[in-house]
Every structure is written in structure tokens, then in C-alpha cells.
Chains A and B, each alone.
Chain A
Amino acid sequence: MSKADAVAAILWIGVTLYAVFGGADFGAGMWDLLAGRGERGERARALIDRSIAPVWEANHVWLIFVLVVLWTAFPPAFSAVMTTLYIPLALAALGIVLRGSGFAFRHALPGPVRGPATRVFGVSSLLTPFFMGTVVGAIASGEVPADGGGDPTSSWTGVFPLVTGALFVATSAYLAAVFLVRDAGAAGDRDLQRYFARRTLAAAVVAGAAALGGIFALHSDARFVYDGLTSDGVPLVILSGICGLGALALLARGITRGLRPLAVGAVVAVIWGFFVAQYPYMVPESLTIEDAAGASATLTEVIVVFLVAGVVCLPSLGLLYVLSQRRALE
């Protein structure tokens, strides 16, 4: 494995963490939007608040991490993507602004302003992962030329990018529902637990359908990645399928133990399946990881920074987690 490959793997770790944690965050916003007005809807919303309030910004740090590593370690890839897919990227950035402020403000502002802020939060939670998905889909289907400046609209409005957008939305909703099932269980709210279990199931069905549709679209629009996914990537695809079905089986029996690792495993396996499938490309069929890699000393620096970040940040995150589980002193 070359140094550039190692940094690409670091980038992919960032992508994975963002997809799982950021995705669950977006999904929670979607469930918030769909929770309706009734008493139970309010209860669901309160649970969502409790679940994401302590970590909501920390989750999105991963996006900044991905962007910074991409432009620092693979500058031509960053520039090629940005000059082609600027429309969905700008819309995703807009979604992030609205979502973040909607959440912050509805927390700090009770009363009449809460309603609109809540809806802004919900709608942008839905749109942001969709546009991110179209970006990923467009990259996978080889729509981004090496020098950038690809078609600003047709590049991401093909079948595969749109299906990927839908898949991102469904997956985010799925992950969030799984986490919320667990949180409702921990809070001792059996009713809400069933409520989110049903939603997990619904999201799983939609995500599964989008994934199946995605495979067909992949076959016609993104042949390189399709071939990779059906050769070197097969073990990961199978792993993802096993995890996904296992999670469904647990849900059907009303078991919540082990649900989260299985659900997360299903998503993570697909993400790494794509990494394997598009290897050695950073941007399929136009820029390989080696070609896109920046200066050697910079790659070393990124690896060092990543290791230091792991050593410094993980214990801090652990401390926050322990503290959030601890009872108040008084």
C-alpha cells in the first residue's frame, strides 16, 4: 500500500464516520419532520432532541475533515469535483446552514418561532443528504473529468446519481431510527421503541429498494464501479447484506440488542465496498489515487495529524460519553 493509498483510506474513514454519525443526525431530522403534531409526535421529537443535542455539531466535524483532507492530500480531485458538481454541493452547503441554525435556534427559542425553525431543520435534514448522494453518485458514474468542468447539470441528474441521493436519504433515516429504537429503550419508553422499530422497518425497505435500483443503475451508468463491486467488492456486499438482513430479523423478533452494530455494519460494508470497487481510482476513470495525490511531505503530514487526532480526540469523546451517561451531582 502506498502512502497515497493510506491517505485515501484515512479520507474514507472520514467519509464512513460522516455517513454513519452525520447520516444518523440527518435521519433524526427527517423523523422529526415526519413526527406530526400529536402527543406521541411531541414525545418522539423530545427523544430526538435528547439523542442528538449533545453531539450534533461534533458529528458534522467529519464533513469538514473530509473536505480538508480531500483538498490537502488530493487537490486535483477536489478541484475537479468542485468545478463539476458545484450545484448540488452548493445546495448541500445551503442545507447545512439552514439545518444547523434551525436546530440551534429551536433549542434556544421556545414559543412561536420554534415551529418554523423546526420545519426548516427537518426539510434541510432531508435535502442535504440527498444532494450529497447525487454528488457521490455522479463521481462513481465517472461524470467528473480529470480537469474538472464537467457538465454542471447532467453530471448529477442521471439515474444513478438520483438513486444514490434517494439511497442516502433512506439510509440516514434507517440509521437514525435504529439509534432511536435503542435510545427509546434506554429511556424505558416501550411505546416509542415500537414506534421507531416500525420506522426502522419502513426505512429498511425503502433503502433496500433504492439499493437494488442502484445496482441496476450502476450496471448501466457506472460500469467500472459495478464491475469492481461484483468482483473484488463481493465479500463486502455480502457482508452488508447479511448485516442488513440480520438487523431485520432482530427487529421482527423485537430484539434491540445487537441491532445497532448490525445496522451500522450494513452501511459501513457498502461504503468500503465502493472504496474497493473504485480502487485504484479516486475519481473513477479520470483520476487515480496516485495521480491525484499531492506533495509527499503533505501526505505524511496528513497521516501524522490523523494519528495525533486519534490519540487526542478519542479519549475526549470517551469522557463526554461517560459524562453524558452519569447522573447529575445534586
Chain B
Amino acid sequence: MPDFTFPLADAGSNLLAARYQMGFTLGFHIVLASFGVAFPAVMLIAEYRGRRSGDEDALRLARRWSKAVAVLFAVGAVSGTVLSFEFGLLWPGMMNRFGDAFGIAFAIEGIFFFLEAIFIAIYIYGWKRLPGWAHFWSGVPIAISGIGGALSVIAANAWMNTPDGFSVGADGRVADVRPLDVIFNTSTFHEFVHMWVAAYLVTGFLVASVYAVAMLRGRRDRYHRLGFLIPFTVAAIAAPVQIVVGDFAARDVFEDQPAKFAAMECVYESGDDQAEHLGGICTDGEVKGSISIPGGDSLLAGFSTGTDVTGLDSIAADDQPPTPTTIHLAFDAMVGLGFAMLALAGWFAVAWRRKRDLPATPWFLRASAAAGAAAVLALECGWMVTEIGRQPWIVHGFMRVEDAVTPAQGIWWVFAFTLLIYVGLGLMAGVVLRGMARRWREAEVAEPELEAPYSPPPTRAPEAAP
């Protein structure tokens, strides 16, 4: 092998590789997880409508969406398995000392995950084997366990931000664990609600964007309209809710995680009357190139320009998030995209009130098509704010990432390989879903016997499972 090592192949660089690896695989999984949380609900809304008013188009949508749910869940289960390996492979120091606190919520998540897997299979099997409303109800546990699973995982992440419910024993390991305090730590509630609503935004806008593109290409029949309207309405309701929830979440971060908040808003000097900086680069103790609203940050954080905001100068240099610009810009991008989605939802609401129809201009559909990508981008940005904003800590105040990372070398190689595989996976998932859509289009009348994971075989045969 040629004598080639990645640049900076030292211990610090290994840490960076591990963070990239974890960040990338989580960033991939978070999109699939959002679908796992919200897509079943969207699918059930379609089935409810179909059963309620005998709407064949709605039922057909629900049937097709259930297969997409299965594909996405299957890929998400795999990327989730990878994550549970990575906790140990990349961060053994954290698992060694804090596994019995960090794992508490994950143990509960297992139940929800298992239930979701089982009921997705039941729902898909049930299309031909459960009568009417019984089938609808067989799908409800999917949506509920998706929410429960999200709550569990978010509780574990929130615990890393605001750890609670344990004390550290003489050996440096966790002692005196109080499971309920671990699960319901200070950040659990706002992180969960924010992520939950985000899942509806991502799923709603992304599914709607598929039908928006189809309508732009001239497929404007009732089926496509409904395929657009159901998920879009869900997202349009979630958009204003998310603005309010996000505002609360930011104030919670202001109170409980001052270092993260300072980086988000690029506040260097502690004090009152802080300006709100939109955009810009945080460097050398100041913000460059931003649009500043005097007093805006203090006003948002405490409803008064007299509100004191902790700046990075009050936080020891070692304890500051290393890349405030990234955090600041990610935060601004998330908020900006959130308001753009809110505007789109408002546009839709006004048109619907006036004439019970979509805005006539194709620009509405074009904007809706873009909203899917925008929602995913906002999700990733928000997640970056939470995770990068916690740095340099892995368990805030208790353990730094550098003390948690594995001593094993070669993580850059693993990361490069992972990138390749996941990009391939993402492409394949896209091709598969597009292929499904194409075959559905070609067989407009007769429902094609399409195989999906969990689905019964096309012809009757015993499917006894091992």
C-alpha cells in the first residue's frame, strides 16, 4: 500500500473523523426517523378519509404510502442498527462511564421500535385480510409507537445536553441513577416537541413535493391533487406550530445551555441590550457582515431589551463551542427556512379560504416542490445547532468528546467508506421509490402486485415465518 495517510492523522484528527462519522450517519438517519414518526399518521389520515367517505383515491394513496413507509422503515432500521454499533465503536469512553444512564431511554425505545416493525407488517398484510375499519385501527399503533420511539431517543439526546438523574461515584462511573429524572431532564420536553413537529413538516412537505412535481408535469387529476393536499395540509398546520414551539425551545436553551445560546446568536460579550444578528461570521470576538437588530436578541430571550445574555466571554475558552459561525448560521438558516415554510402555508391558507382551491399560479407548486428540500435542510440545520452547540462536551459538564472517543485509528477510512455506501444507499432508495411511482402510474386502473418489504407475496402461498 502506498505511504498515504490522511492529513492531520493524529489523535485530534481521529476525534474529528469520529465526529464526522457520527454526525453523517445520524444526519442520514434523522430524515428516515422523521418519516417513521410522521408518515404513518399521514397515511392513516388518507385511509380515514377513504373509509369515511368511500373515497377510492384516498384509499389508493394510503395503500401506496404504506409501501413507501415500509421501504423507508426498513432502511431506517438498518441505519439505526449502525448507530447502536457506533455508540460503542466511536464513543466507548462515554458508554463505559455513562451507559447505564444514557441507555435508560434507549431500552424503552426498543419496545416502540419492535411494536412499530410488527404493526407495519400487520398493516400491510391487513390490506387484504382485515375488514374496513379494523384495518385502519391496525395502523394506529404504528403512529403511536413512532411518537413513543421519538420521545425515547430524544430523551437520550436531551440528557447529553442537560444531564440529570444520577451522581458520579468515586470510580468516575454513574451511581444512584434515578430513571425518571434521566428521561425527563430539563431539555426533553422542548427537544421532543420541536423534533416531533419537525417530523410532520419534513414528511408533509417532502411527500407533497412529489405530487407538486407531478402536477407541474400536468398530472392534475383528483388522485394527484389529493396526494398533494393531504400531506401539504399536515405540514401547513405544523408550520405555525413549529414557529411557536421553536421560540419556546430557544428560550429554554437560553436558560439552560448558555454556551450553546451564545454561539447560536453569536454573543461575545455578556450583558443586556444584545443585538440580534442575522447571518454573518463570528470571528475574533465579533460578528462580521451580519444584519443587526439592536436589542433584538435580548428582547427575544427575555421579552425586554434589558435581558442579560451570557456571552462567550463568560465561558472558559476550553468550554466554548469550537465553531460558533457554523452554529450561528445553521440556526439562522433553520429559522429562515421555518418562516419561509410558514409563508408558504399562509399563502395556501388564504387561497383555500377564498376559493377552496390551490393558488392558481404554477409558482405555488414550484415553491411547494422546493419546500420538501427546505424542510429537510431546516431539520439538518436544527440538529447541527443542538449537536455542535453542545461541543466540546459529549455529556455536558461531565465528559468531553475527546475523553469519550475511541483510541482506534483509521476512522477517516471508515468515514470515507461510509460516505460511499450511504450515498449509494440514498440513491438506491430514491430509485426504488421512483420506480414504485412509475409502476403505479403505468397501472393507473389495476393495482399492480408490487412487492415491498413486509408485503405478502403476490399469489396466495403460506408465508410461515421462521
Contacts and interface: CB of A to CB of B under 8 A. Distances in A.
Interface of A: 21, 24-25, 28, 46, 49-61, 63-65, 67-69, 71-76, 78-83, 86, 89-90, 92-94, 96-98, 100-101, 103-105, 107-109, 113, 148-149, 152, 175-176, 179, 182-183, 186-187, 294-298, 301-302, 305, 308-309, 312-313, 316-317, 319-321, 323-330
B129 A108 contact: no
Contacts of A69: 107
Contact of B432 (A28, A97, A109): A109
A320 B142 CA distance: 13
A329 B125 CA distance: 11
Nearest to A317: B118
B359 interface: no
Interface of B: 71, 73-75, 77-82, 84-89, 92-93, 95-104, 106-111, 113-115, 117-119, 121-122, 125-126, 128-131, 141, 166, 173-179, 406-408, 414, 421, 425, 428-429, 431-432, 435-436, 450-457, 460-466
Contacts of B421: 94, 97-98
A320 B138 CA distance: 10
B189 to A, nearest CB: 20
A86 B125 contact: no
Nearest to B414: A90
A321 B465 contact: yes
Given A50-B463, A54-B454, A109 B431 contact: yes
Contact of A54 (B110, B121, B414): B121
A309 B122 CA distance: 18
A71 B125 contact: no
A105 to B, nearest CB: 5
Given A82-B92, A101-B75, A50 B454 contact: no
Contact of B84 (A59, A68, A79, A186): A68
A146 B456 CA distance: 47
Nearest to A59: B466
A104 B104 contact: no
B89 A89 contact: yes
Contact of B129 (A92, A308, A317, A329): A329
Given A51-B464, A86-B89, A86-B408, A316 B115 contact: yes
Contact of A295 (B96, B100, B115, B408): B100
B120 to A, nearest CB: 9
Given A79-B88, A81-B88, A97-B82, A329 B452 contact: no
Given A53-B457, A295-B166, A108 B466 contact: no
A182 B463 CA distance: 11
A105 B455 CA distance: 13
27 contacts: A25-B466, A52-B465, A57-B117, A58-B118, A64-B80, A65-B114, A71-B88, A71-B99, A73-B100, A79-B93, A82-B95, A93-B89, A100-B78, A101-B78, A101-B425, A103-B453, A105-B432, A107-B452, A108-B432, A108-B450, A148-B96, A186-B462, A295-B100, A295-B101, A321-B465, A323-B122, A328-B456
B95 A71 contact: yes
Contacts of A65: 110, 114
Contacts of B78: 96-97, 100-101, 104
A73 B429 CA distance: 36
Given A75-B95, A100-B78, A57 B73 contact: yes
Given A53-B455, A71-B103, A183-B462, A298 B118 contact: no
Query: Chain A interface mostly helix, strand, loop or mixed?
Result: helix
A68 B92 contact: no
B107 A313 contact: no
B465 A78 contact: no
B107 A302 contact: yes
Contact of A320 (B84, B102, B121, B428): B121
Contact of A324 (B88, B125, B141, B407): B125
A98 to B, nearest CB: 8
A327 B166 CA distance: 53
Nearest to A324: B463
Nearest to B173: A75
Contact of A82 (B77, B88, B115, B141): B88
Nearest to A81: B88
Contacts of A52: 465-466
A318 to B, nearest CB: 10
A101 B80 CA distance: 13
Contacts of B118: 58, 313, 316-317, 319-320
Contact of B466 (A28, A76, A81, A152): A28
Task: Identify the interface centre among A109, A295, A302, A328: most chain B CB within 10 Å of its CB.
Answer: A295
A179 B182 CA distance: 43
Given A51-B466, A54-B454, A295-B175, A78 B100 contact: no
A54 B74 contact: no
Contact of B88 (A78, A101, A107, A152): A78
A330 B462 contact: no
A308 B99 CA distance: 21
Contacts of A326: 129
Given A79-B93, A109-B435, A297-B176, 17 more contacts: A55-B121, A60-B77, A67-B88, A68-B109, A79-B96, A101-B75, A104-B74, A107-B451, A107-B455, A109-B432, A295-B166, A309-B110, A316-B119, A316-B141, A320-B125, A327-B129, A330-B128
A176 B464 contact: no
Contacts of A54: 121, 125, 454, 456, 463, 465
A308 B179 contact: no
A323 B130 contact: yes
Contact of A294 (B92, B100, B119, B128): B100
A179 B466 contact: yes
A25 B110 CA distance: 20
Task: Identify the interface centre among B75, B102, B177: most chain A CB within 10 Å of its CB.
Answer: B177
Contacts of B166: 295
A86 B466 contact: no
**What are the nearest 7 A-B pairs in CB distance?**
A72-B103, A294-B100, A75-B99, A82-B88, A79-B96, A100-B78, A179-B466
Nearest to A178: B466
Contacts of B88: 67, 71, 78-79, 81-82, 89
A29 B58 CA distance: 37
Contacts of A67: 84-85, 87-88
